[in-house]
Amino acid sequence: MRNDKDYDGNITDFVNSNNYSSITQFLIYVDLSNFKVNIFKGTKNNWKLDKSYLCTIGKNSTPTPSGVFKIGVKGLYFGVEKGYKCWYYSSFKGNYLFHSIIYNLDGTVRDGRLGMKLSNGCIRLLKTNAKYIYDNVPKDTKVIIN
């Protein structure tokens, strides 16, 4: 079994060795194969891993897009008209979002599964983790999904 500290060190080395830059002090690297959203603070070649969150990604028929994007529109929640709530969304490509797991309108968890391919392409996180991105990661932050 792999140690989380090993993963953290390896992903930090990987990001810094690939010369990734962002116009903000943040960079997000989504590791699809490990179901991880990695949030870095710093500058090009000097990124430090700030947060690493387990996530759920798009299912095989509706995959999460790979590529280089940026944080766009943010909002408190969506889905009420369809009978659910996903909290603290931050877009990275059109309607593809980072957001919370799915809640019923009464506040109970409808689908809290993480570390799986289940979504229609969005990236689901624990509510507190989606809130961290919503509150702290600015618009135009580079998002790399691989």
Largest CA distance in the chain: 46
Residue 42 has pLDDT above 70, yes or no: yes
Side-chain half-sphere CA neighbours of 127 within 13 A: 13
Mean pLDDT of 91-108: 98
Q: CA 83 to CA 53: how far, in whole Å?
A: 27
Over the stretch 100-118, which tens digit does the pLDDT of each residue have?
999 999 999 999 999 999 9
pLDDT at 1: 44
Over the stretch 111-137, which tens digit does the pLDDT of each residue have?
999 999 999 999 999 999 999 999 999
pLDDT at 2: 52
Mean pLDDT of 35-46: 98
- Domain spanning 4-145, CATH architecture: Beta Barrel (2.40)
pLDDT at 4: 85
Where along the chain do its domains lie?
A: 4-145
The number of beta carbons lying within 10 Å of the beta carbon of residue 66 is 11
What is the share, in percent, of the chain residues with pLDDT greater than 70?
Answer: 98
